[in-house]
């Protein structure tokens, strides 16, 4: 048997042992169960690290976790991520999956390979047509595949965004208005943030699986849908809005307690919002009627005043009075 086949057999046995283990195994325990590893020392460690890297490169979720005793580290395969449940797809569902994978490419040949594994497509390399959209191509969204994987594996991610290095805990991806958005907990700011994926300026660097620290009760859809002023393409600006006691409870419930920077006597609150679409914010404040007021910064407050004058003038022209009384 050649050395290449020896290693193939060893890696196959390693996978079987890790899948069968009920608890994380130390390197010493793995070497006792998997024939072919050197007797000990750096050589054993190097051989195992090469095998572990090969398994991960092939999509096997090998995890490293702390264990008690002298070994300190244990290894296991996350079977929930590795095994697929029985899908029981109908022929029509098989066809729909093939059409979706043929139409959209998300970086690499993984889509067709996945279909083949579940019996819903042709064997990889047998052809499949040209995709309509390549989301990870030069004209697509290069960061998207890594972010999908980070959400799937619950891994924290770092990347450059608007001139800053961000460290976030991804909670979900959403599509809105022709753009992908990452909804995440921003560790540096201690709050939910939404990032337009095509504006991420560097390749995302994921951490280990399950390293994300998404706060308990984090609601992706609420964080995404409640703040339309985050979906613009402009520069980020931090805006303070005063909401009186009549609307304060509802607004805080929708935006989250983390947005509150001041509570005033009588129940008024000041919420601090990160805005990239000022017109959307102004429309939201207008919806509060007399219960909301933009405090700053000055340029956004001035825009709010100008917008109010436009509304008053329009109402005046509509009534023929030229002014609106209160």
pLDDT, one tens digit per residue, over 247-265 is: 999 988 888 788 899 999 8
Residue 89 banded pLDDT, cuts 50, 70, 90: low
- Alpha-helical runs (H) found in the chain: 3-20, 27-33, 41-57, 79-82, 91-103, 110-117, 144-153, 220-225, 245-255, 278-287, 298-319
pLDDT greater at residue 98 or residue 250: 250
Comma-separated ranges of CATH 1.10.10.10 domains in the chain: 3-82
Please provide the DSSP assignment of 204-220 as one string. -EE-STT---PPTT--H
Residue 204 banded pLDDT, cuts 50, 70, 90: very high
pLDDT greater at residue 100 or residue 146: 146
C-beta separation of 171 from 151 below 8 A: yes
- How many angstroms separate the CA atoms of 266 and 280, rounded? 28
pLDDT of 76 higher than 80: yes
DSSP strand pairing (205-206 vs 191-196): unpaired
Comma-separated ranges of CATH 2.30.30 domains in the chain: 144-225
Integer Rg of the chain from CA? 27
- How many angstroms separate the CA atoms of 241 and 244, rounded? 10
Task: Output the CATH code of domain 3-82.
Answer: 1.10.10.10
**Which segment of 169-173, 209-213, 288-292, 321-325 scores lowest on mean pLDDT?**
321-325
- How many angstroms separate the CA atoms of 68 and 18, rounded? 18
pLDDT greater at residue 81 or residue 140: 81
Average pLDDT of the chain, as a whole number? 78
* pLDDT tens digits for range 100-127: 555 455 555 555 555 555 555 554 444 4
From its phi and psi, is residue 69 left (phi > 0), alpha (psi between -120 and 50) or beta?
A: left
Q: What is the pLDDT of residue 38?
A: 85
Residue 5 banded pLDDT, cuts 50, 70, 90: very low
Cα 234 from chain centroid (whole Å): 21
**Highest-confidence range of 95-99, 255-259, 311-315, by mean pLDDT?**
255-259
Residue 83 banded pLDDT, cuts 50, 70, 90: low
Terminal C-alpha separation, the chain: 93
Q: Give percent above pLDDT 90 in the chain.
A: 21
Contacts of 193 (CB under 8 A, 6+ apart): 166, 168, 183, 184, 185, 186, 274
C-beta separation of 277 from 234 below 8 A: yes
pLDDT greater at residue 223 or residue 123: 223
Q: What is the pTM of this model?
A: 0.49
- 144-225, CATH topology level: SH3 type barrels. (2.30.30)
- How many angstroms separate the CA atoms of 287 and 246, rounded? 13
- How many angstroms separate the CA atoms of 112 and 101, rounded? 7
**Cis amide prior to 297 (ω within 30 degrees):** yes
């Amino acid at each position: 048997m050649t050395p290449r086949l020896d290693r193939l057999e060893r890696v196959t046995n390693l996978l079987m042992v890790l899948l069968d283990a009920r608890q994380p195994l130390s390197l010493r325990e793995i070497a006792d169960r998997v024939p072919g590893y050197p007797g000990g020392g750096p050589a054993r460690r190097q051989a195992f690290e090469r095998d572990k890297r090969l398994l991960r490169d092939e999509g096997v979720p090998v995890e490293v976790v702390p264990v008690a005793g002298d070994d300190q580290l244990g290894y296991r395969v996350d079977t929930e991520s590795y095994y697929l449940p029985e899908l029981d797809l109908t022929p029509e569902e098989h066809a729909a999956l093939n059409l979706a994978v043929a139409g959209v490419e998300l970086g690499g040949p993984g889509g067709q390979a996945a279909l083949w594994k579940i019996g819903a497509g042709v064997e990889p390399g047998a052809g499949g047509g040209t995709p309509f959209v390549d989301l990870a191509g030069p004209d697509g969204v290069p960061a998207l595949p890594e972010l999908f994987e980070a959400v799937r594996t619950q891994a924290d991610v770092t990347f450059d965004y608007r001139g800053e290095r961000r460290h976030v805990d991804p909670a979900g991806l959403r599509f809105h208005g022709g753009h992908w958005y990452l909804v995440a907990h921003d560790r540096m700011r201690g709050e939910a943030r939404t990032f337009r994926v095509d504006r991420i300026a560097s390749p995302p660097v994921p951490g280990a699986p399950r390293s994300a620290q998404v706060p308990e009760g984090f609601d992706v859809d609420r964080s995404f849908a409640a703040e339309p002023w985050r979906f613009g393409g402009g520069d980020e600006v931090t805006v303070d809005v005063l909401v009186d006691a009549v609307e304060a409870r509802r607004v805080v419930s929708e935006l989250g307690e983390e947005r509150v920077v001041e509570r005033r006597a009588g129940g008024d609150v000041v919420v601090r919002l990160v805005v990239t679409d000022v017109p959307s914010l102004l429309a939201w404040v207008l919806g509060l009627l007399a219960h909301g007021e933009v405090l700053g910064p000055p340029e956004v407050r001035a825009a709010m005043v100008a917008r109010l004058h436009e509304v008053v003038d329009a109402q005046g022209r509509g009534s023929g009075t030229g002014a609106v009384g209160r």
